[in-house]
């Protein structure tokens, strides 16, 4: 039989305590200078021309000519200055001098030209206005280039801030080698982790810590638990590793720092322009008025969302004048139906013998949490008398049905910064655009003309042209904006000075110090 | 089993009773949302609390029982009817027809029923089936995935019964095929498949919940336990009751139906069938023993 005296008990306890602290000691040795950030999907080799890597890590490794700043301000990147010709047909760039790629290759006009020609004028990238309008590039000096265009592209400078393909790769990089001029260098990447080390020769403000480990954690609860356990320092960012409002609330209650700021992407309820039911403006009006946006923001987004009646929030440039967010008004919704020739009440409506019944297409895979929002809206519309049938489908079915407008109602989201407003307007509201499986929010011949004018108009007239689009969308109840979800991040207490990156496509590291 | 408390079977009985009388048992409209009473704990107003939209959990559990019971009843009846007809026909007719039908049954049994149901739900998601609601798609998919077991059992019983002297006697006396099948064979077939179905009911309730869990079954706002489970998963940290309550209901019903099936199998199968089965087993064992002795000698 085991005999345990006081001395051996104390020795055993001390030994076990030491073993318990071993991982923390190891952590202190190995991770003190390392920021561990969750990413939802692997980074891959960060190929700038392929749509295979997650979007979150490009800006850490590669620079663009122009960087996206707060509120859409354009900040110098690899270009220190730029000038658009009066006719809008050429843009000249002064390139930053003394910059090298991390393999030692100098960044100059030749390297810039090589990079830009990889995507400008290439059919695959015609969705980018400046690529579609590209004519040629001239090297004016060792550090000065001019891009010539076939037609003016007012959003050209904003387009040069997007994640890919606009960033700059070393011309000497072998295939699969992500070598840029950015603040971080890829040390290794695998399906579970990507390790970045600080680029000590970076031209801009260098990170305050030397290493960043991007841990692939696809499950949101697992990410939150890893943050709680101290295995991760930062989680969040819609395109990095999304943090749900509910989880953020739970983490906040446990002492984690939650950083929330107004978002740049709008969640929109889309009406199918091909659905006979939704072509009736009275039905669209009834839905628009019958939804309690504030309740959606409070109940399902825990207050981490802002109700809206506009397509774009003010956090993106030229978002237009604000429309007051309508309070839910069941009587007004029913009055709209009556004015539209419908007869009925809260128990149901009919017109020309047809019952008012709407198919609400939802995919949790495409849009996590959408079924709960749909259920809430279904309950609200039920009180108006609009019967809503929620069809829950998988991603593949959603990708098949959405481009064909094979639904009455479904959810959309605008792209957010740095792609908006030109990105969402040019893709999701234009009949001829190719948005693939994403579908379009609303299309109409009149709207096509207005959007084309808005996207081609520059200078002082641009704001008015954009406003004309927003007015048309509002007057025709072409879509039903619901909320702007806030940008949400949760941070371990050892992370000091956390500030949100410029967009949710960027990794957070600027200003951060590790305790 | 004889000494097991019959209370174990109570959940199955309660499930059926609740399913039938749910409209009178529910205290609230299970779809009614109340944003002023979100994620509440049990109280006098809401006996099992409320969910993320302020809906009454008790009423949703009761409503979910009805949803599952109705779907289960439809699927069991349809699968049993299809299985008995195909299996009995194959066993009775024999020859090439039997060979073809048994091959179809084997193919259907080669894949797990739930996988077949999932595949069929994928097929039904197409535009050609848009006239069917998700609920009926689920019932049809489960029926088509579930009939094969009943067919195989039915065939086996028919083949065994056809060997019996009393069938031969009936034929000699000029009885028609219909008479022989309905009067002498079908009762044996039904005796066995109904026992199997009672145990299968639990698996079916679970399959219905699984399809709903995967978003392929019942459409909102109809309450369904599998869907309640998946919805509750998002709130598992702050309100685990949203997962525990439907989970417990599901577990109790599945276990109870399994025990019910076992009870029927042991106590309700016709004594004659059990007697013959035991006699055959005894004879086979005696033959084996004799053969072994012969080899030893």
- Other CB atoms within a 10 A radius of the CB of residue A458 amount to 15
Q: How far is CA A123 from CA A114, A118, A168, B171, in A?
A: 17, 11, 19, 80
How would you classify the pairing of strands A34-39 and A184-189?
unpaired
| The pLDDT of residue A96 | 97
- A409 touching B (Cβ < 8 Å): no
- B238 touching A (Cβ < 8 Å): yes
- A379 touching B (Cβ < 8 Å): yes
| The pLDDT of residue B196 | 87
Range list of H helices, A32-78: 58-61
CB contact under 8 A, B234 and A246: yes
Place of tokens 């995967």: B214
Question: Which member of B32, B125, B220 has the closest CB to residue A375?
Answer: B220
Range list of H helices, A340-460: 370-384, 395-401, 422-428, 445-456
**Residue range B282-286: average pLDDT?**
71
CA dist., res. A65 & res. A91, Å (int): 12
pLDDT band at A1 (very low <50, low <70, confident <90, very high): very low
Q: For residue A31, what are its two tokens?
A: 């991770």
Q: How far is CA A286 from CA A283, A331, A426, in A?
A: 5, 9, 28
Rg value, chain B, Cα? 24
Please determine, for residue B269, whether its predicted confidence score (pLDDT) is greater than 50. no
Burial class (CB in 10 A: 0-12, 13-18, 19+), B249: buried
Question: Which member of A374, A379, A393 has the closest CB to residue B33?
Answer: A379
Q: For residue B92, what are its two tokens?
A: 């009775």
- B247 touching A (Cβ < 8 Å): no
CB contact under 8 A, B127 and A406: yes
For residue B116, the distance in angstroms to the closest alpha carbon of chain A comes to: 17
Range list of H helices, B163-240: 165-172, 177-179, 186-213, 225-233
Higher-scoring residue by pLDDT: A152, B266? A152
CA dist., res. B66 & res. B21, Å (int): 8
CA dist., res. A160 & res. B95, Å (int): 75
> Residue B1 CA to chain centroid, in angstroms?
21
- B237 touching A (Cβ < 8 Å): yes
| The pLDDT of residue B12 | 83
Helix (H), strand (E) at residue A475: helix A461-475
Q: How far is CA A310 from CA A51, A63, A200, in A?
A: 30, 32, 44
Query: ∠ at Cα A17 (A14, A18), nearest 5°?
Result: 90
**Residue range B31-42: average pLDDT?**
93
CATH classification (class only), A64-159: alpha beta
Residue among B214, B78, B224 nearest B141 (CA): B78
Question: Which member of A246, A250, A375 has the closest CB to residue B221?
Answer: A375
The model carries a pTM of 0.83
Alpha-carbon torsion A199, A203, A206, A212, what sign? Answer: negative
- Give Cβ neighbours of residue B293 (< 8 Å, ≥ 6 apart): none
Higher-scoring residue by pLDDT: B103, A71? B103
pLDDT per residue as tens digits for the range A82-134 = 999 999 999 999 999 999 999 999 999 999 999 999 999 999 999 899 999 99
Domains A31-43+182-262+488-514 and A64-159 share a fold: yes
CB contact under 8 A, A392 and B134: yes
For residue A359, the distance in angstroms to the closest alpha carbon of chain B comes to: 11
For the domain spanning A266-485, the CATH number is 3.10.105.10
CB contact under 8 A, B238 and A247: no
- Indicate the DSSP class of residue B219: P
How would CATH label the architecture of A31-43+182-262+488-514? 3-Layer(aba) Sandwich (3.40)
Please, what is the angle between helix A220-228 and helix A245-253, to 10°? Answer: 20
Residue among A377, A381, A374 nearest A348 (CA): A381
Nearest CA in chain A to B235: A246
CA dist., res. B38 & res. A372, Å (int): 13
How would CATH label the architecture of B20-296? Orthogonal Bundle (1.10)
Query: ∠ at Cα A363 (A358, A366), nearest 5°?
Result: 135
Of the ranges A362-376, A465-479, B115-129, B174-188, which is most confident? A465-479
Please determine, for residue B71, whether its predicted confidence score (pLDDT) is greater than 80. yes
pLDDT per residue as tens digits for the range A31-79 = 789 999 999 999 989 999 988 777 888 999 999 999 999 878 999 999 9
Range list of H helices, A180-239: 220-228
Helix (H), strand (E) at residue B94: none
Rounded to a whole number, what is the distance in angstroms from the first to the last CA of chain B? 43
Q: For residue A56, what are its two tokens?
A: 């979150």
CB contact under 8 A, A378 and B221: yes
Higher-scoring residue by pLDDT: B8, A337? A337
Contact residues, chain B, for A246 at CB < 8 Å? 234-235, 238
Q: For residue B143, what are its two tokens?
A: 């029926």
CA dist., res. A486 & res. A265, Å (int): 9
pLDDT band at B276 (very low <50, low <70, confident <90, very high): low
Please determine, for residue A415, whether its predicted confidence score (pLDDT) is greater than 90. yes
Please determine, for residue B286, whether its predicted confidence score (pLDDT) is greater than 80. no
| The pLDDT of residue B270 | 43
Please determine, for residue A466, whether its predicted confidence score (pLDDT) is greater than 80. yes
CA dist., res. B232 & res. B64, Å (int): 14
Helix (H), strand (E) at residue B214: none
Whether a cis peptide bond, with omega within 30° of 0, leads into A418 is yes
Question: Which member of B31, B35, B231 has the closest CB to residue A372?
Answer: B231
CA dist., res. A107 & res. B134, Å (int): 58
For residue A379, the distance in angstroms to the closest alpha carbon of chain B comes to: 7
pLDDT per residue as tens digits for the range A312-341 = 999 999 999 999 999 999 999 999 999 999
CB contact under 8 A, B220 and A378: yes
Nearest CA in chain B to A253: B238
Please determine, for residue B275, whether its predicted confidence score (pLDDT) is greater than 80. no
Question: Which member of B52, B53, B219 has the closest CB to residue A391?
Answer: B219
Whether a cis peptide bond, with omega within 30° of 0, leads into B221 is yes
Whether a cis peptide bond, with omega within 30° of 0, leads into A421 is yes
Higher-scoring residue by pLDDT: B4, A234? A234
Q: Tell me the pLDDT of chain A averaged across its residues.
A: 92
Contact by Cβ (8 Å): A292, A344: no
CB contact under 8 A, B52 and A300: yes
For residue B220, the distance in angstroms to the closest alpha carbon of chain A comes to: 6
Nearest CA in chain A to B236: A221
- A128 touching B (Cβ < 8 Å): no
Please determine, for residue A449, whether its predicted confidence score (pLDDT) is greater than 80. yes
| The pLDDT of residue B131 | 82
Higher-scoring residue by pLDDT: A53, A80? A80
CB contact under 8 A, A372 and B53: yes
SS3 B132: coil
Cβ–Cβ pairs < 8 A, chains A and B: 57
pLDDT band at B279 (very low <50, low <70, confident <90, very high): low
Q: For residue B175, what are its two tokens?
A: 């009885």
- Indicate the DSSP class of residue A107: -
- A357 touching B (Cβ < 8 Å): no
Contact residues, chain B, for A406 at CB < 8 Å? 127
Q: How far is CA A38 from CA A54, A63, A184, A231, A490, in A?
A: 12, 22, 16, 10, 11
pLDDT band at B57 (very low <50, low <70, confident <90, very high): very high
Contact by Cβ (8 Å): A474, A312: no
**Residue range A197-202: average pLDDT?**
97
Chain A, window 233-292: residues with a beta carbon less than 8 angstroms from a chain B beta carbon? 244, 246-247, 249-250
- Other CB atoms within a 10 A radius of the CB of residue B66 amount to 22
pLDDT band at A515 (very low <50, low <70, confident <90, very high): confident
- B31 touching A (Cβ < 8 Å): yes
Q: Tell me the pLDDT of chain B averaged across its residues.
A: 87
Question: Which member of A244, A369, A376 has the closest CB to residue B53?
Answer: A376
- Give Cβ neighbours of residue B171 (< 8 Å, ≥ 6 apart): B180
Nearest CA in chain A to B39: A299
pLDDT band at B124 (very low <50, low <70, confident <90, very high): confident
CA dist., res. A156 & res. A159, Å (int): 5
CA dist., res. A120 & res. B261, Å (int): 70
CA dist., res. A103 & res. A170, Å (int): 8
Chain A, window 483-512: residues with a beta carbon less than 8 angstroms from a chain B beta carbon? none
pLDDT band at B29 (very low <50, low <70, confident <90, very high): very high
Range list of H helices, chain B: 10-25, 57-93, 95-110, 113-124, 134-162, 165-172, 177-179, 186-213, 225-233, 241-267, 271-296
Greatest Cα pair distance, chain B, in angstroms, is: 87
| The pLDDT of residue A3 | 59
Q: For residue B17, what are its two tokens?
A: 């009773």
Contact by Cβ (8 Å): A14, A29: no
Question: Which member of B125, B221, B235 has the closest CB to residue A379?
Answer: B221
- A130 touching B (Cβ < 8 Å): no
- B112 touching A (Cβ < 8 Å): no
Greatest Cα pair distance, chain A, in angstroms, is: 95
* Domain limits, chain B: 20-296
Contact by Cβ (8 Å): B72, B208: yes
SS3 A22: helix
Range list of H helices, A362-438: 370-384, 395-401, 422-428
CA dist., res. A24 & res. A27, Å (int): 5
- B53 touching A (Cβ < 8 Å): yes
**Residue range A13-19: average pLDDT?**
63
Q: For residue B115, what are its two tokens?
A: 């996988």
Contact residues, chain A, for B224 at CB < 8 Å? none
SS3 A57: helix
Question: Which member of A298, A379, A382 has the closest CB to residue B53?
Answer: A379
Q: Which stretch of A8-12, A293-297, B105-109 has the lowest confidence by average pLDDT? A: A8-12
| The pLDDT of residue B273 | 44
CA dist., res. A445 & res. B121, Å (int): 37
**Residue range A372-390: average pLDDT?**
95
Contact by Cβ (8 Å): B209, B225: yes
* Domain limits, chain A: 31-43+182-262+488-514, 64-159, 266-485
Mutation site for B-interface testing, chosen from A358, A362, A373, A379 by largest number of B Cβ within 10 Å = A379
| The pLDDT of residue B3 | 56
Please state, for a pLDDT cut of 90, what percent of chain A lies above it. 80
């Amino acid at each position: 039989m085991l005999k345990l005296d006081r001395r051996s008990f104390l020795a055993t306890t001390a030994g076990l305590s030491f073993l318990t602290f071993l991982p923390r000691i190891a952590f202190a040795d190995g991770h003190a200078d390392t920021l561990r950030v969750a990413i939802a999907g692997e980074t891959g080799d960060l190929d700038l021309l392929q749509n295979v890597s997650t979007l979150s890590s490009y800006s850490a490794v590669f620079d663009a000519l122009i960087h996206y700043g707060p509120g859409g301000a354009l900040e110098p990147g690899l270009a220190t200055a730029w000038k658009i010709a009066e006719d809008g047909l050429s843009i000249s760039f002064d390139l930053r001098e003394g910059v090298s790629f991390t393999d030692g290759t100098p960044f100059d006009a030749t390297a810039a030209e090589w990079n830009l020609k990889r995507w400008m004028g290439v059919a695959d990238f015609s969705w980018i206005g400046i690529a579609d309008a590209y004519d040629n590039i001239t090297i004016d000096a060792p550090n000065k280039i001019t891009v010539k265009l076939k037609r003016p592209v007012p959003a050209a400078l904003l387009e040069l801030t997007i994640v890919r393909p606009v960033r700059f790769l070393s011309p000497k990089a072998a295939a699969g080698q992500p070598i840029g001029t950015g603040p971080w260098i890829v040390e290794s990447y695998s399906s579970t982790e990507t390790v970045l080390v600080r680029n000590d020769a970076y031209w801009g403000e260098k990170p305050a810590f030397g290493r960043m480990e991007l841990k692939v954690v696809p499950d949101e609860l697992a990410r939150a638990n890893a943050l709680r356990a101290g295995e991760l320092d930062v989680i969040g960012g819609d395109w990095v590793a999304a943090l749900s409002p509910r989880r953020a609330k739970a983490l906040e209650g446990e002492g984690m720092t939650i950083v929330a700021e107004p978002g740049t992407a709008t969640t929109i309820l889309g009406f199918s322009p091909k659905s006979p039911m939704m072509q009736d403006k009275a039905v669209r009006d009834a839905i628009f008025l019958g939804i309690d946006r504030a309740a959606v923001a409070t109940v399902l987004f825990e207050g981490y969302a802002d109700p809206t009646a506009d397509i774009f929030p003010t956090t993106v440039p030229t978002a237009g004048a604000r429309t007051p967010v309508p309070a839910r008004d069941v009587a007004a919704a029913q009055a709209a139906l009556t004015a539209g020739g419908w007869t009925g009440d809260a128990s149901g409506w009919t017109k020309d013998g047809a019952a008012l019944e709407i198919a609400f297409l939802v995919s949790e895979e495409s849009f996590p949490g959408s079924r709960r929002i749909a259920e809430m809206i279904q309950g609200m519309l039920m009180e108006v008398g609009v019967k809503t049938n929620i069809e829950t489908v998988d991603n593949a079915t959603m990708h098949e049905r959405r481009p064909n407008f094979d639904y009455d109602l479904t959810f959309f989201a605008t792209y957010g910064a740095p792609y908006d407003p030109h990105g969402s307007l040019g893709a999701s509201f234009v009949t001829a655009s190719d948005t693939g499986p994403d579908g379009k929010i609303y299309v109409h011949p009149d709207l096509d003309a207005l959007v084309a004018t808005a996207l081609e108009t520059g200078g002082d007239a641009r704001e008015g042209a954009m406003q004309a689009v927003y007015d048309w969308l509002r007057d025709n109840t072409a879509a039903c904006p619901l909320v702007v979800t806030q940008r949400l991040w949760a941070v371990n207490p050892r992370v000091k000075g956390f500030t949100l990156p410029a967009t949710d496509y960027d990794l957070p590291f600027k200003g951060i110090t590790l305790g | 089993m004889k000494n097991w408390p019959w209370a174990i079977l109570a959940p199955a009985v309660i499930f059926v009773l609740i399913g039938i009388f749910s409209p009178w048992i529910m205290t609230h409209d299970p779809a009614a949302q109340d944003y002023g009473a979100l994620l509440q704990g049990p109280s006098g107003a809401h006996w099992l609390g409320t969910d993320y939209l302020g809906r009454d959990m008790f009423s949703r559990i009761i409503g979910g029982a009805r949803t599952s019971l109705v779907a289960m009843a439809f699927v069991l009846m349809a699968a049993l009817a299809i299985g008995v007809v195909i299996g009995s026909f194959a066993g009775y007719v024999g020859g090439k027809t039997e060979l073809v039908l048994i091959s179809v049954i084997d193919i259907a049994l080669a894949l797990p029923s739930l996988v077949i149901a999932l595949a069929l739900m994928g097929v039904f998601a197409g535009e050609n089936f848009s006239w069917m609601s998700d609920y009926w798609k689920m019932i049809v998919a489960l029926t088509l995935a579930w009939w094969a077991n009943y067919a195989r059992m039915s065939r086996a019983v028919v083949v065994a019964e056809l060997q019996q002297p009393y069938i031969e006697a009936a034929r000699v006396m000029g009885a028609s095929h219909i008479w022989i099948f309905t009067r002498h064979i079908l009762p044996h077939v039904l005796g066995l498949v109904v026992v199997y179905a009672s145990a299968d009911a639990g698996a079916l309730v679970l399959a219905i919940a699984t399809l709903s869990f995967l978003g392929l079954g019942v459409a909102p706002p109809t309450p369904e336990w599998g869907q309640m489970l998946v919805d509750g998963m998002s709130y598992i940290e702050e309100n685990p009751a949203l997962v525990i309550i439907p989970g417990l209901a599901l577990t109790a019903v599945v276990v109870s139906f399994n025990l019910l099936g076992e009870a029927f199998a042991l106590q309700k199968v016709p004594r004659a069938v059990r007697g013959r089965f035991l006699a055959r087993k005894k004879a086979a064992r005696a033959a084996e023993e004799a053969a072994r002795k012969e080899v030893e000698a």
